[in-house]
Structure formats: C-alpha cells, structure tokens
Amino acid sequence: MKVEIRQNSPHEADLQRLAELLENEESQYRRLLRLAWRQNSYMKRQDVDRLETNAREWNRYLPLANQARSAREKFLAYMGGNLGLGAGQPEIQDLLVGTRSPIARRIAQLLVVMKGTALRLARQNELNRALAEFCLDLVREESEIFKRCVLDDPSGCYGEDALRADRGPGGVLVKQA
C-alpha cells in the first residue's frame, strides 16, 4: 500500500472546522432519527395529534440538517481547492491522506458515526414509508367495505335510530398494523 504524503496538508484550523461541521451534521441526523422513531410509534398507535406535531418538527429540523450537509460540502470543496485536489467536492478521506494530526483521526471516527446515523435514518424512513403505505391500504380497504355496506344494504350498517349498528361489514377490520 502506497501512502501519498502531500507537501500541502490541511491546516489544523481547517481540520478543526471540518470536525465541527461533521459533529453538527451528525447531530442533526440523530435528531431526525429520533423523530423518525417517534413517527413510527405514533403511526402504530394511530395518534394523529402527535403525528401532526411530529410532522411540524420534521419541517423545522429537516432544513437544519440540509444546511449542515450543505455547509460541510462547501467547506470540503474549499479545502480541496486549497490543497490542489481539483474542482468539485473531494472525499473526506482524500483530504486526510498523509495527515498525522489527532484531529484527522477524530474526523475519521466522526465520519464513521455520521454514516452509521445516516444509514439508520434511511432505514427507519423506509420502514415508516412501508407502514404508511400499509395504513393507507387498510383505510382504502375499510372505506370500500363501508361503501359496499352503505350502497348495498344501508339497513345493515345503521339502525332505525340512525346510529351505526354493532354488527355487519361496516365494523370489520381485516388487517392489523
């Protein structure tokens, strides 16, 4: 394995700033992950009020996570330009090649943590998407059952007092979350 040692290494202040940006970005993703876990719980409990509150929190914190990612990307491009790595955004590992700073080791560790958090967030978002899809399918199915009940035999769904009857297909749940 050949290790390239550049004459022009990143400045300690730049490495420190990069570490701070990574910490902030990971913190933002961790917050979104907690919101995703709560969203899953609220969907399972069908807690609409908390789901609405959670959605407002997503709207509040998602832009902060996007800003943190964008700030890191811009700073990486700036560092890459200073080190002569060409146009565009370099990989963090490219910036750390040949750097023996303790901050560089900390950056490598932060990168692993951030990638892990981002992966867990993506996985939880996919689980939530699947659960939401299931809930929508369940609502569609229940509304179809109710619609058939009302159109085909209205007396089977409602009693003479115009209240819903305790029996009949209008109250049947076919699936459970």
* 164: β partners: 158
Cα-trace Rg, the chain:
26
Residues sharing a CB contact under 8 Å with residue 14, sequence separation 6 or more, in sequence order: 75, 79, 82
- Tokens 């940006």 label which residue? 21
> For residue 98, how many C-alpha atoms fall within 13 Å in the half-sphere facing its CB?
13
Identify the band that residue 146 occupies on the pLDDT scale cut at 50, 70 and 90: confident
Identify the band that residue 161 occupies on the pLDDT scale cut at 50, 70 and 90: low
- For residues 85 and 77, give the distance between their C-alpha atoms in angstroms, rounded to a whole number: 9
Identify the band that residue 9 occupies on the pLDDT scale cut at 50, 70 and 90: confident
Q: What is the pLDDT of residues 39-91, one digit of tens each?
A: 999 999 989 999 999 999 999 999 999 999 999 999 998 988 888 877 677 88
- For residues 176 and 10, give the distance between their C-alpha atoms in angstroms, rounded to a whole number: 56
Instruction: Give the per-residue pLDDT at 136.
Output: 87
Q: Is residue 1's pLDDT more than 50?
A: no
Q: Is residue 129's pLDDT more than 90?
A: yes
